[in-house]
Structure 1
Amino acid sequence: MQYLPEIDCDIPNLDLLSLIFDSPYCWAKSETIIHAEADNETNHLTKSEAGIIVRRLAFVLRNEFGIGISGAGNDVVTSVCSNHLLSPSIFFAVIASEAVYSAASTALTVRELARQIQSSKSNLIIATEDTASTAIEAASICNVPLERVLILHSMSFDRALTPSVDSSQNYLLETREFPWARISEEGILKNRVVALLYSSGTTGVPKGVRISHKNFVAEAIITQTAIETYLSRQHVFSEFQYRTIAHLPSAHISGLQGYFINGAMMGGTVFWMPKFVFDDFVHAAKKHRPTFISTVPSVYLRIAKSASVSDEFHSLQHAQSGAAPMGPQLQKLAESKLKCKISQAWGLTETTGAVTWLPWDREDSTGSISQLLPNTRLKIVDESDRPVPDGNSGEILVRGPNVTIGYWENDEATKEAFTADGWFRTGDIGARKDGKFYIVDRKKELIKFKGLQVAPAEIEAVLLEHDQILDAGVVGMPDPQISGNEIPRAFVVRKPGKSPMSEEDVKRHVRDNLASHKQLRGGVKFADFIPRNLSGKILRRKLVQIEENERLSKI
């Protein structure tokens, strides 16, 4: 049995650049300011100005560096850039030059970045000042000439794109243009890879997710249709102004789809913060009055528990949470502070972003991941790929025009990720109850205790309800008494300014709220922070590694 959305919509056969810059589907007009610096909004770009920069940068890529000369999709350009005003223009210019844009996290070490460059066979690297040294070292390891490491400047009116070996050469001064190819053939749109995003790598070596024109366009239209349906129901279409703040790093699917693409599609402005600083985020919200934000539970936790936040977010019409489950109690606390409703969206890099979200005029306080977006399909199956009854948990499978065609040069991983009839295996364990979808946990993160499955996310949600806990992460540890058994261990960050809570206080809180098999038999460790990746997901492997290092040091 497969679950269907309330509505579907038509996905145009257009390439991504034509969709944004040359089609009626994009709500932004030529004069619409689509990108602005959060700290100084006079440093901005209209859609028309962005289009000119894209064509000029595409000319530079093609004629100065030979990008795309050997054919579409053969060259890869790696971007390891912090949030910059011109980051979206770099993305679109790479695609316009018929190359593949490979997004690299600014948090990568030299070794990790070199591995990504080698995996993608990238031959051109674009960095910002804060990542330049890492990019240069990684380029040297990968035998990429330093003149092919470019440094981007675009904040505080300092606009330049220079080779790392010659800062006097500014490629943004180029006036010649390279027009992108208009593509309408469905087969090309579906199969031509334009972006390469590496999975978060919480287990094993990260895999490169191939995203096509069709994937990006479908996700953009699907998201736009969901918002348009809400606006039409509320009869406020002409009054709505889309404004959001790019506060999370853009080197992931929420950044590319949410910041680079969706803002223009909604006809509004994305205000750019170079990096996330909580107080700066609050200040930007007060200044720019966002109407929509999408962020992670840890940010909502900061908002909910911060005494310095008052009315800064009261301009919001809706807020969205993703990347990790958010418990009903945290949702309630955050909604009270924001004065607007929060819904949970769910999706993956492999689905080009959201598969589910809640219409803005509906409410849910049960912790569900909302409902299917248009054109998406979902199944919940057991280990034999048989559909499970409502109320039972199983792995979530999805399909739709926004689902990746597979992994970069990894046929084995691609084969394993899809069923024989084309459904994508998400690795998420979910259930459908009372017509709503819920995430139980990641399949590979479940703790197995005496034959029972324990979801770390469920324990974490309970821990975060405690007013003395700022953050928490839970992992499974080997049971010293039962071979092959696992027991939950919590890592807890105590909220400052409170009387110190003890390990027994934490255990008692869990004992009072969860069943016997979900208790913290592995103990409690107090920590200064919980390691997370840039999209907000807990890096459980790092918590496990901390424990392993401590154990080995005692031998």
Structure 2
Amino acid sequence: MRTYKSHHEDIDIPDLDILTLLFESEWCAAKEETVIHAEAANPSNSITKSQARETVKRIAHVLRNKFEIGKGNGAGKDVVLSVVSGSPFIPVLFYSIVAAAGVYSGASGAFTVTELARQMQDANAKLLLCSPEYEDLTVTAAKKSNIPLSRILIIDAKTPGDWKLLPVTGDRTRNVLDLQHGPQLEWKRITTQHELEQTTTCLMYSSGTTGLPKGVLISHRNLVACNVCGMHITKSFLAQREREGRPFEFRTIAHLPMAHIGGISWSSLNPFYLGGTAYWVDKYDFESFIEYHRRYKLTTQWTVPPIWLAIAKSAAVTDHFDTLQIACTGAAPMGPELTKEATRKLGTGKIPIIAQLWGATETTGSISGVDWGYNDETCSSGAPFPNLRLRFVDDNDQDVEPGQPGEILVAGPFVCQGYHNRPEANASSFLDDFYRTGDIGIWRDGLIYVVDRKKELIKYKGLQVAPAELEALLTSHPKIVDAAVIGVQDESRATEVPRAFIVVKPGVSVEAAEVVEFVAANLANHKRLRGGVEFLQEIPKSASGKILRKELRQRVLEEEKRRGAKL
């Protein structure tokens, strides 16, 4: 077996639960008075580390004693499901659910009733939390799932210092919280590795490599390793800034939903570790996003390729990102041309090139990245974080030679406990201790290069074509603002061929032939757009920025049906 590790030494991961790590350990840089979370639209609506600790204990007491979370079934069993917009209250609710020995599960506000009800039923949710705008959706799904309406609470987080949880039934003005004087519940301090590995904190939903969304069981140990080992790439950068007498100040926009693992790992945990503020937006919109960067002189941003693409292409972006010092991208590969184009808009063009992170919900978020401050012009996904082992295997699970593409398998403390009530998915998604990521990658010079998703690779006459490579090239075209590529079957050639879906810059025109010729002039013959070019107003994407190729494939199928009906 050929395995690969980080160039960093392994770390002695502390035997601490995630709340003790955040609030009571020396691992985290946040001071008692540090503002951890704030509302971007109203920064007075904020909470410090000290205030958050007391608030968490009071909410945990309510969850335990009024709603019996963590009371009868024991720790890590009772699921509290939330359908929420972003606010500084939301991460505090997450900590509080864990403090009550419950399990946090986030659901997308974009869900249909059927999709939300499916997650409620699969998770066996015991309590539901929702923002006001999702009340109707949550109530309807709860009725479909036979969950009593008395188990639904509406979040009111607009008044600084007076956050509320309001019942759907009965007196709707009755706040079940008393955050000033209410009794407190101390969370259980866990100090044994086995219990840390076995106690679930989050049930996050992911499609994995295939199929309908499945509940991913994430433990205390997973979250602690994610924070301690994942943030190790910041160490040399932070130390250098201290030596120079200009300590780094962490400020970022939290815009990824708490139904996404990035909302947990990037926005809820890192403000403690890095000792700064996450400014929360209720919903992402580009104009507000760039304006908040300018207003709060933000220094750090983790986001997804579509947002970097918008930054790169928008004439509205001028000095908005001049204070940015650390820029990271994740959720999908980003090509070198777009990376360089976007980087020119950041930190007056003087910060290192945007660093790519790589990971999955099943790995508690990112598990590789470039050290902060290092300029990686190769656009790799960096090195694996400490304490992880990787394999690159072929379709027969045999190790490929270094430098050759293979599916990436990962083992270590970041890897989840498995899927909730899915033994068949566990059997197919894990090989011994290794999780099958479904990503095709190459190991070169100690770095990971993610080529594409295994199920998304196009096979043209036996040769592999990576959609991500074509998409990166297409978005480098001056007239193209976004692109997606899928494989379509060409019966005349008895093979798959690439088809591109293009969004053109407003006010300009592009012929399909021009796009085809552009690809032919820049890539190998087998990567040509033999499947044609279609023009769209928008590329369908998930909330986390991943291209919804399933929708594009469905579009092609419907087109073929219409064409067949006319014959």
**C-alpha separation in 2, matches of 1:275 and 1:237:** 37
Instruction: Compute the displacement of 1:482 (Å).
Output: 4.0
**C-alpha separation in 1, matches of 2:168 and 2:559:** 41
Q: Cα–Cα, structure 1 residues 473 and 237, in superposed 2: closer, same or farther, change >3 Å?
A: farther
Is 1:252 aligned with 2:260?
Answer: yes
**Residue aligned with 2:418, SS:** coil
**Residue aligned with 1:512, SS:** helix
- Cα deviation, 1:325-346, whole Å, max 9, x if unaligned, reads 1110001111111122211111
**C-alpha separation in 2, matches of 1:355 and 1:252:** 15
Match of 1:95 in 2: 98
> Match of 1:494, as an amino acid?
V
Match of 2:518 in 1: 509
Match of 2:435 in 1: 424
Match of 1:406 in 2: 418
**Residue aligned with 2:344, SS:** helix
Match of 1:369 in 2: 381
Match of 2:456 in 1: 445
The aligned runs of 1:166-181 (5 Å cut-off) are: 166-173=171-178, 175-181=182-188
Match of 1:541 in 2: 550
Match of 2:323 in 1: 315
Q: Cα–Cα, structure 1 residues 309 and 200, in superposed 2: closer, same or farther, change >3 Å?
A: farther
Match of 1:493 in 2: 503
The aligned runs of 1:12-411 (5 Å cut-off) are: 12-70=14-72, 71-155=74-158, 157=160, 159-165=163-169, 166-173=171-178, 175-200=182-207, 203-234=210-241, 235-236=243-244, 239-338=247-346, 339=349, 340-341=351-352, 342-411=354-423
**For the Cα contact (< 8 Å) 1:197–1:252, is it kept in 2?**
yes
**Residue aligned with 1:356, SS:** strand
Q: Cα–Cα, structure 1 residues 28 and 236, in superposed 2: closer, same or farther, change >3 Å?
A: farther
Instruction: Compute the displacement of 1:432 (Å).
Output: 1.9
> Match of 1:27, as an amino acid?
A
**C-alpha separation in 1, matches of 2:244 and 2:259:** 33
Instruction: Compute the displacement of 1:226 (Å).
Output: 2.1
Instruction: Compute the displacement of 1:436 (Å).
Output: 2.8
Match of 2:539 in 1: 530
**Residue aligned with 1:307, SS:** coil
**C-alpha separation in 2, matches of 1:99 and 1:258:** 21
Higher deviation after alignment, 264-273 or 217-226: 217-226
Give ranges in structure 1 of 5+ residues lacking alignment. none
- Cα deviation, 1:488-528, whole Å, max 9, x if unaligned, reads 11111111022x11111111111111111111111111111
Cα RMSD between the aligned structures?
1.5
Q: TM-score scaled by structure 2?
A: 0.95
Match of 2:6 in 1: 5
Instruction: Compute the displacement of 1:390 (Å).
Output: 2.2
Instruction: Compute the displacement of 1:202 (Å).
Output: 7.7
**Residue aligned with 2:472, SS:** helix
Higher deviation after alignment, 199-208 or 9-18: 199-208
**Residue aligned with 1:471, SS:** strand
- Cα deviation, 1:103-127, whole Å, max 9, x if unaligned, reads 1112111111100111111121111
Aligned length: 552
Instruction: Compute the displacement of 1:236 (Å).
Output: 4.8
**C-alpha separation in 1, matches of 2:475 and 2:159:** 38
**C-alpha separation in 2, matches of 1:539 and 1:402:** 26
Q: TM-score scaled by structure 1?
A: 0.97
**For the Cα contact (< 8 Å) 1:381–1:397, is it kept in 2?**
yes
Instruction: Compute the displacement of 1:310 (Å).
Output: 1.0
Q: Cα–Cα, structure 1 residues 229 and 457, in superposed 2: closer, same or farther, change >3 Å?
A: same
Instruction: Compute the displacement of 1:387 (Å).
Output: 2.2
**Residue aligned with 1:77, SS:** strand
Higher deviation after alignment, 4-13 or 383-392: 383-392
> Match of 2:216, as an amino acid?
V
Higher deviation after alignment, 152-161 or 93-102: 152-161
**C-alpha separation in 2, matches of 1:225 and 1:302:** 30
**C-alpha separation in 1, matches of 2:246 and 2:14:** 24
- Cα deviation, 1:234-281, whole Å, max 9, x if unaligned, reads 525871111111122232111101111111111110001111100000
Higher deviation after alignment, 168-177 or 235-244: 235-244
**For the Cα contact (< 8 Å) 1:40–1:156, is it kept in 2?**
no
**C-alpha separation in 1, matches of 2:57 and 2:69:** 14
**Residue aligned with 1:424, SS:** strand
**Residue aligned with 2:333, SS:** coil
Instruction: Compute the displacement of 1:155 (Å).
Output: 3.0
**C-alpha separation in 2, matches of 1:385 and 1:203:** 18
**For the Cα contact (< 8 Å) 1:191–1:405, is it kept in 2?**
yes
Instruction: Compute the displacement of 1:74 (Å).
Output: 2.2
Q: Cα–Cα, structure 1 residues 289 and 232, in superposed 2: closer, same or farther, change >3 Å?
A: same
> Match of 1:182, as an amino acid?
R
